[in-house]
A and B are shown apart, each in its own frame.
Chain A
Amino acid sequence: MSKQLIASSGQRARQLTAAEIADIDHEMGIYPDKQAVGLEALKIVQKHQGWVSDESLLAIAGYLNLPAAELEGVATFFNLIYRQPVGRNVMLFCDSVSCWIMGCEGLKAHIKETLDIDFGETSAEGDFTLIPVPCLGDCDRAPVMMVGEDLHRNLTTEKIDEIISHYRRGEGGE
């Protein structure tokens, strides 16, 4: 969550890129009103920028003529909209009940030790952000987590080490 209120952050809207505007305009054909497009625009900007900065949020509000405070209320409600910068790879770590029974707490401790980050933090190298996520719906192969768009199943500490070095070598994700 943003630590400063938008209104008092002193930030001004940035210029949306042509690619962002094209994507947002496309959504206008799918949804009948601009409020619905607002949430889509947050996702679009995040896809292009990695996260939604104050400047981005104000730009979307300006472009769609939506109240910035209302858009901020929406942006901070949804857990997959990032209002703080994230690392190059976001780890969505399932800590729901089936993964808990299958030992996800030990795996989380291992990630914490290896990357020196807790939930909500980004590694010093800027390569990983660790975020807990509700049940990922792959419980017969628990414990599971996503890194970027990739789903990793039947996790063990050894597998987690492999996954981390895999992304560090730049073979996955971005």
Chain B
Amino acid sequence: MVDNPLTKNIDMSRPPLEIAAYEAADGYQSVRLIAKGLSPEDVLQQVKDSGLKGRGGAGFPTGLKWSFVPQGDDTPQQKYLVVNADEMEPGTFKDRLLMEGDPHLLIEGVIIAAYAIRASKAYIFLRGEYVASERLLRHAIDEAVASGFLGNNILGSGFDLELIVHTSAGRYICGEETALLNALEGKRAIPRAKPPFPQVSGLWGKPTIVNNVETLCNLPGILTYGVDWYHGLTKGSDHGTKLFGVSGRVKTPGCWELPLGLPIRELLEDYAGGMQDGLALRGFLPGGGSTDFMLPEHLDTALDYDEIAKLGSRLATGTMIVLDDKTCPVGMVGNLMKFFAKESCGFCTPCRDGLPWVEDIFRDFEAGRGNEKDLQILHDHVDYLGPGRTFCALAPGATAPLGSGLKYFKEDFERHIKEQCCPYKH
């Protein structure tokens, strides 16, 4: 049985599979099941039973999210599925692999999700810089339309689906699902107030599900090989496989599909080859730039949503950024603060004004002008910009590396003040 459903067709040394080869590798089997009478309710139940959690960062159960879409004759008949392919989280490089490596897998996932929520129109919200993904997806969509997997009355099932590739014009905030919907509507990408949640009132006011690329790529396997097979992929409490990446100064940085629940050590040492010669591990962000630092003492923790949450961090995107002992932790956090300050949409005050203040203080630390009072201001901002203080999750995301960095690398901050310079540059 297949044990790497997300990457089984991926070989980056050649172009992705054309539709015939994709079908020969069990592709589009799920659409044939739908044509044979599998109902939207059946699909929803299987996805709920699978335990699949969203792979975009938040880890919300996918089936539960879908179940919030109002169904029935008295609900809006136009519903939308939107693919969040706006991969821009610092240090995250997994959705690109899926779209460039096996575009038909994503398209099959889109068909399944759209069918389950009864959406007749779907948009792939793709970041504008992913030009290769765009080209490959458009080609694969043309093939899927020609084979009857997209369009009207798919394989005689009575189900219609139009799939559109939308290339974005930039900005990290578009990864926030309501900001994404505003961008898709041609507005400034500012997050919306919730409620109403997009599941009820989303794109152009219609019920809308926004799912991440990797989440959708899990669906064909679940329908084709079954829920029991999906549960059998993992040993821990979370189900399925996930793409895990490692970047930074390790021997062999990369992205691999692994079952959830493996120890972090295995990812870092066996797959990423451990640290480059002469360097030691200082810490790591387990799932992109918006996650809390973890330390070498945490290496035996399982790559699992709940286990990492117990240590105050998040598995999030599953792409790890590694800090070595020759790189300045203060500089690393400062780089992230510059990113978040620049990418604030500017709508709410704590984020718009707080993040640039934090960024300025880091610049002072770097230039040898750090002082105790500023250090206190940084600590204060972990609270001022934290969860519940701002309109969306951007600034709270920034406080994850900020707060944990202040805690774990206290001595480094103090040395910047005492020596009035960055000690890593001397």
> Which residues of A line the B interface, CB within 8 A?
30-33, 35-40, 42-43, 73-74, 77-81, 92, 95-98, 100-102, 133-142, 146, 149, 151
> Which residues of B line the A interface, CB within 8 A?
87-93, 95-96, 127-132, 164, 167-172, 183-189, 204, 245-249, 253-255, 285, 289, 319, 321-324, 327, 331-332, 335-336, 339, 343, 345
- Residue pair A36, B254 in contact (C-beta under 8 Å): no
- Residue pair A139, B186 in contact (C-beta under 8 Å): no
- Residue pair B319, A39 in contact (C-beta under 8 Å): no
- Name the residue of chain A whose CB is nearest to the CB of B345: A77
Q: List 9 A-B contacts (CB under 8 A).
A: A31-B186, A32-B204, A79-B169, A80-B169, A97-B332, A98-B321, A101-B247, A101-B327, A135-B289
- Name the residue of chain A whose CB is nearest to the CB of B254: A140
Number of interchain pairs (Cβ within 8 Å) = 130
Tell me the minimal C-beta distance from A91 to chain B in angstroms.
12
Contacts of B185 in A (CB 8 A): 33, 35-36
- Name the residue of chain B whose CB is nearest to the CB of A75: B169
3 closest Cβ pairs, A-B complex:
A78-B169, A139-B247, A140-B253
Given contacts A78-B189, A97-B321, A137-B130, contact A39 B92 (CB under 8 A): no
Tell me the minimal C-beta distance from A81 to chain B in angstroms.
5
Contacts of B131 in A (CB 8 A): 149
A140 to B250, CA, bound (A): 10
- Residue pair B90, A79 in contact (C-beta under 8 Å): no
Contacts of B89 in A (CB 8 A): 135
Contacts of B248 in A (CB 8 A): 98, 101-102
- Residue pair A35, B187 in contact (C-beta under 8 Å): yes
Which of A42, A77, A81, A138 interacts with B96 by CB under 8 Å? A138
Residue from A43, A80, A97, A101 with most neighbouring chain B CB atoms (10 Å): A97
Given contacts A39-B183, A135-B89, A137-B95, contact A74 B171 (CB under 8 A): no
A43 to B186, CA, bound (A): 11
- Name the residue of chain A whose CB is nearest to the CB of B285: A97
- Residue pair B336, A97 in contact (C-beta under 8 Å): yes
- Residue pair A96, B289 in contact (C-beta under 8 Å): yes
Tell me the minimal C-beta distance from A105 to chain B in angstroms.
9
Which of A78, A97, A139 interacts with B245 by CB under 8 Å? A139
Tell me the minimal C-beta distance from A1 to chain B in angstroms.
13
